[in-house]
């Protein structure tokens, strides 16, 4: 999958590994996953040396009162933490949890908002989240599922996603490549470069992201 991805990415692009973690996970299991992930990063760094850069973070499932593992899974050198919720999460629960994360000094990056009912019913809620300091990132993987693909397309059309990630779980999933660039070009009013390069770079620089909706033809650097 990485070989396929490297063919469509510019030299010197950064790939961030985000294996799944949950706040309810046993610490030993989380630690073992982390070590495995770092080991994998070491292997591919050698293999793709001079072509791609790699970082290890995580995607944290938030539920209940625990906010364990945020320190481990944050994007290295930043306060950005990639978070997800169960698909049945309510808007109120989402708001409360994101406020808790912000109050601990982190910057939540909401993974695949197109999967949540609160977003599908009222997409402008992502504007509220962006004003609070949250980022939103749709998944290329969502284009495989009819139910999520239509919301993902409307978020792109209205500039309501800061970025796009692959979220690839298996070789069947979409990746950030020329085919995805074409798909995004059909639906998005925001340029591919903004969604896959400029704003992701702001995340890696630990910068606050712009308020949604993103504006057509505006430069985000």
| Residue 213 contacts residue 124 (beta carbons within 8 Å) | no
Minimal CB distance to Fe ion: which residue? 84
185 — phi, psi (to 5°)?
-60, -30
Preceding omega of 213 cis (within 30 degrees of 0): yes
Which of 57, 58, 62, 84 forms a contact with Fe ion (CB under 5 A)? 84
**How far apart are CB 148 and Fe ion at their closest, in Å?**
11
Please say which residue, 18 or 196, places its beta carbon nearer to Fe ion: 18
CB of 20 to Fe ion, least distance (A): 7
Instruction: Tell me whether residue 84 or residue 158 sits nearer to Fe ion (CB atom).
Output: 84
Asked whether position 114 contacts Fe ion by CB under 5 A, the answer is: no
Q: How far is the CB of 62 from Fe ion (least distance, A)?
A: 11
Render 35-63 in DSSP notation, one character per residue.
HHHHHHHHHHHHHTTTTEEEEE--EEEP-
Q: For residue 33, what are its two tokens?
A: 């996953």
Q: Which stretch binds Fe ion (CB under 5 A): 78-86, 88-96, 124-132, 187-195?
A: 78-86
* Calpha distance 152→114 (Å, rounded): 5
What distance in Å separates the CA atoms of residue 142 and residue 11, rounded to the nearest whole number? 26
Count residues binding Fe ion (CB under 5 A).
Answer: 2
- By C-beta, is 52 or 111 nearer to Fe ion? 111
- Segment contacting Fe ion (CB under 5 A): 75-83, 110-118, 124-132, 140-148? 110-118
Which of these segments, 3-11, 29-37, 105-113, 157-165, binds Fe ion (CB under 5 A)?
105-113
CB 135 within 8 A of CB 102: no
Q: Which stretch binds Fe ion (CB under 5 A): 96-104, 107-115, 143-151, 186-194?
A: 107-115
Choose the binding region for Fe ion from 91-99, 109-117, 187-195, 201-209 (rule: CB under 5 A). 109-117
Cβ atoms of residues 196 and 176 within 8 Å: yes
Smallest gap from Cβ 102 to Fe ion, in A, equals: 20
Token reading at 123: 């997409």
Cβ(16)–Cβ(56) below 8 Å: yes
Rank residues 121 and 169 by Cβ distance to Fe ion and give the closer one.
169
- The torsion region of residue 36 among left (phi > 0), alpha (psi -120 to 50) and beta comes to alpha
Q: Whole-number minimum distance, CB 43 to Fe ion, in Å?
A: 24
> How many C-beta neighbours within 10 Å does residue 185 have?
11
Judged by the rule CB under 5 A, the positions of this chain that interact with Fe ion are 84, 111
């Amino acid at each position: 999958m990485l070989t396929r991805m490297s063919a469509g990415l510019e030299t010197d692009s950064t790939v961030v590994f985000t294996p799944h973690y949950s706040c309810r996970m046993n610490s030993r299991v989380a630690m073992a996953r982390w070590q495995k992930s770092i080991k994998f990063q070491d292997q591919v760094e050698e293999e793709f040396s001079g072509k791609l850069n790699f970082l290890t973070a995580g995607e944290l499932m938030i539920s209940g009162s625990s906010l364990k593992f945020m320190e481990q899974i944050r994007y290295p050198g930043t306060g950005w933490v990639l978070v997800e919720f169960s698909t049945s999460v309510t808007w109120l629960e989402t708001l409360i949890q994101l406020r808790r994360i912000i109050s601990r000094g982190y910057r939540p990056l909401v993974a695949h908002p197109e999967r949540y009912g609160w977003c599908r019913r009222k997409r402008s809620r992502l504007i509220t989240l962006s004003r609070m300091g949250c980022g939103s990132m749709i998944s290329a993987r969502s284009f495989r599922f009819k139910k999520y693909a239509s919301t993902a397309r409307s978020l792109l059309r209205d500039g309501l996603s800061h970025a796009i990630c692959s979220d690839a779980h298996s070789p069947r999933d979409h990746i950030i490549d020329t085919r995805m660039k074409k798909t995004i070009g059909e639906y998005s009013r925001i340029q591919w470069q903004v969604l896959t390069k400029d704003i992701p770079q702001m995340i890696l620089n630990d910068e606050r992201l712009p308020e949604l909706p993103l504006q057509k033809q505006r430069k985000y650097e």
